[in-house]
Structure 1
Amino acid sequence: MSATLLPGVLGLITGLTLIVAIGAQNAYLLRLGIAERAQVVLPAVVICAASDALLILAGVLGMGALVQSAPVALTVIQVLGAGFLFWYGFVAARRALWPSGEVLEAGGQEDSSSVRRVVLTMLALTWLNPHVYLDTVILLGSIANGQPVGRWWWVAGAMLASVLWFSALGFGGRLLRPVFARALAWRVLDGLIAVVMVAIGVRIALGV
């Protein structure tokens, strides 16, 4: 394997191991992929992939030390992030317990307000998570800078992992729509999302 291809593959694998997990961002994007049209899913996928790229780049450029030297900023993000996750967990739990007709209709018409809501929610889920700074900026940045050769190919591979994963999650969600033609399936999904959001919120609030 060439000196450029190997670092790229290693970056791709490393990036996937970090993002392919049940998290608040992934859970929300999956629900969007199942319920919404591409015009709504696209900005969410772009935000996820672009945010990862910016955070990885920040880590490679040495911003990890700045993150570690700003514990107050991380504490503020921790409080805001936990609060937002608790709120979204409550909303998801309410949908699961008392579903409305609208949330059961996959592919409903999108409008500017729904796109705006999706964008703001995804930005909050992405940037109000203190772990994203610790895992992506510090961890991936350190691994990238530790590559003996092909550092930027490694970075490109890690960024590609984000693009592939978030695109598959967002645009592949439509394959599950036949399952979610039933109200019970939506209630189960929203119940799981509520558990995920609250569990991650507790983890963030406790700083673990």
Structure 2
Amino acid sequence: MLLADDHGAIRAGLGLILGNAEGIEVIGEAADGATAVRQARAFKPDAVLVDVRMPGTEGATAAHEVIAEGLAEVLVLTTFDLDEYVHAALRAGEAGFLLKSVEAPRLIEAVKLVAAGEGVLAPQVTRKLITAFAQSAEKPATMPAGDLAGREREVLACLGAGLANAGIGARLRIGETAVKTHVSRVLAKLVLRSRVQVTILAQETGVPVSDGRTVLRAKP
């Protein structure tokens, strides 16, 4: 786990919470985005926790570089009053978004989920994320989703309901390995980078099926 925040006291607090959590090891800290990217390249962490606004190379930019290079999953901490950062983060494909006011148990859980390749959305910001995605997405409101198989459509619906892999597996009565495979296929067919993006898209759109072809259409 790599921590990136320009406030030393916040980094210390995060390090104390996460460093004492079972199954999490903090292997580096960064006070700016550029340092975060360099350390991600050097340490190859499972996940990077990034403050969205930092001096120099901002958190959203650093996150984009980390994701583009496949260095780690990224979990963003934000006060969520800065739409321009939200848009950039969505385009980058972050694995999760949490408010800085998040309680320690939820933060620990989110870090573990993101490190495992799952997506995390703070309930307080889901609607704003949906709005931001709808306004800033590079895709049109109506688009072919590829030929999603029946199970893939079910997984898409589960993602829209905000279920993690374990929850999807329980609902569909399949193993978590199969869930991960289906999620990867859904992402590939929708040409999306992260579970967060596909979750937002699933919540904002319907998934009607006609003549074996799946199409996502914006809700009226």
User: Under TM normalisation by the shorter chain, which class is it?
Assistant: under 0.3
- Higher strand proportion (structure 1 or 2): 2
- Which fold has the larger relative contact order, with Cα–Cα distance below 8 Å and residues 6 or more apart in sequence? 1
- Higher helix proportion (structure 1 or 2): 1
The two structures have a TM-score, normalised by structure 1, of 0.25
